Amino acid sequence: MRSLLGFALFCLSCTAHAELPTRIEAGYDLLTHGIKLGEVREVFVRDGDQYRIQSVSKPVGLLALFQPETIVITSEGEITRSGLQPRKFTHQRAKSPEKNTQADFDWINRTLTVSDRAGIRQLALPPGTQDRLSAMYQFVIAPPHARLELDLQVTNGSKLQPYHYLLDPARSAKVPFGDVRSYYLRTAPQSTAWKSEIWLAIDHEYFPAKMVLTEDNGSQFVQLLRTLDIQP
């Protein structure tokens, strides 16, 4: 199963990192077939030219009773003229540590070291590569103005995945706090039903307001922005 959050980055010229928010707090609902399965709390912190993002996912309802798993994802690294440059990414499960993954970025030697249950491997590190968490925050730094297509390289700590997106700047997304004007991104058609979609909230710093992952068999997983606090 491809990660719901593992699908975004682009490498564009962006504003100086002094203009970035010092802190972003976001809350998401996770749903499938209209049923809420969990909640996500994310915190982005900028400290000079360093950043750290933490995402904590917890199940709710019956899922919390039968699968009380907590997933903690972190990304940390530097803020450069091109945006976020990850140094380390971790994906940790409290009750299933065998599913943990990690990625270490060596930008000097252009190598990406990934680690999962299959062991440790080194991959080539393309310029602009992001992890599945830092990728989302690149849109705040460099909104995709006037772009019609987007090519991405994203790691989930286990592999490096390329993505190709098509963009539509005139869409809206319905989220718990109302309708938001959005930039809409979708992957190009595949041989199966698989598709990933992102709605960026134009009036909220182009922060991802809605994300939908459609699996090969047509099953959908939805992530909706519930709360957002951006501090300058």
Q: Specify the DSSP class assigned to residue 140.
A: H
Residue 97, domain member (yes or no): yes
Length of the chain: 232
Tell me, what CATH number does 75's domain have? 2.50.20
Residue 101, domain member (yes or no): yes
The predicted structure's pLDDT at residue 168 = 92
Q: Which two tokens stand for residue 228?
A: 């957002």
Q: Specify the DSSP class assigned to residue 188.
A: P
The predicted structure's pLDDT at residue 15 = 38
Q: Hunting for tokens 């940390």 — which residue is that? A: 76
The predicted structure's pLDDT at residue 34 = 94
Amino acid at 55: S
Q: For the chain, which ranges sit under pLDDT 50?
A: 1-18
Residue 160, domain member (yes or no): yes
* Side-chain half-sphere exposure of 126, counting CA atoms within 13 A: 16
pTM of the model: 0.88
Phi-psi region at 206: left, alpha or beta (left = phi > 0; alpha = psi -120 to 50):
left
Q: Are 186 and 165 in contact (CB under 8 A)?
A: yes
Q: Which two tokens stand for residue 109?
A: 């030697």
Q: Which two tokens stand for residue 94?
A: 């409290």
Cβ burial of 128 (10 Å; 0-12, 13-18, 19+) is: middle
Q: Are 102 and 89 in contact (CB under 8 A)?
A: yes
Residues in CB range of 34: below 8 A, 6 or more apart: none
Residue 9, domain member (yes or no): no
Euclidean distance between CA atoms 133 and 55, whole angstroms? 8
Structural domain for 113, as ranges = 17-227
Residue 6, domain member (yes or no): no
Q: Are 89 and 103 in contact (CB under 8 A)?
A: yes
Q: Are 206 and 193 in contact (CB under 8 A)?
A: no
Residue 2, domain member (yes or no): no
Residue 1, domain member (yes or no): no
Q: What domain count does the chain have?
A: 1
Residues in CB range of 115: below 8 A, 6 or more apart: 101, 102, 103, 104, 121, 157
Residue 10, domain member (yes or no): no
Amino acid at 1: M
